[in-house]
Amino acid sequence: MEILMSIVIGILFTCAVYLMLSKSLLRIIIGTGLLSHGAHLLLLTMSGLKTGAAPVLTEGITNYTDPLPQALVLTAIVISFGVTAFFLVLAYRAYQELGTDNMEKMRGTESHD
């Protein structure tokens, strides 16, 4: 199972890198979304995907899954959610002000000599 997950995560990372190397800003943001998906799945996978009950204390169950990575993923998800929201608004403002979403045209030239 871990092998399969690793391959899927690898594909997610590949797509993320491909998208982030493109010119359009929106594609780049979609790439960061895929990248954080990959990182979160990696966090879950690397703790081992043993079968067990959900980590909620219940009578008569002794075998639970690891609760720690789930807490880590929850934290990482809200952080990347906040950053993505900020990034999207930033992209919107930049589109309004600069009139382009092409990263090739967002080069700083003035006062760089």
Site for another protein in 75-94 (CB under 8 A): 75-76, 79-80, 82-83, 86-87, 90-91, 93-94
DSSP 38-83: HHHHHHHHHT-----B-SS--TT---B--HHHHHHHHHHHHHHHHH
Where does residue 41 rank: exposed (0-12), middle (13-18), buried (19+ CB within 10 A)? middle
| Residue 7 makes contact with another protein by CB under 8 A | no
- Phi first, then psi, for residue 30 (nearest 5°) are -60, -40
Using alpha carbons, select from 30, 48, 37, 33 the residue that is nearest to residue 73. Answer: 37
Nearer to another protein, 61 or 92 (CB): 92
Nearer to another protein, 15 or 39 (CB): 39
| Residue 36 makes contact with another protein by CB under 8 A | yes
| Residue 59 makes contact with another protein by CB under 8 A | no
Contacts with another protein, residue ranges (CB under 8 A): 20, 25, 28, 32, 35-36, 38-40, 42-43, 45-48, 68-69, 72, 75-76, 79-80, 82-83, 86-87, 90-91, 93-94, 97-98, 106, 108, 110-113
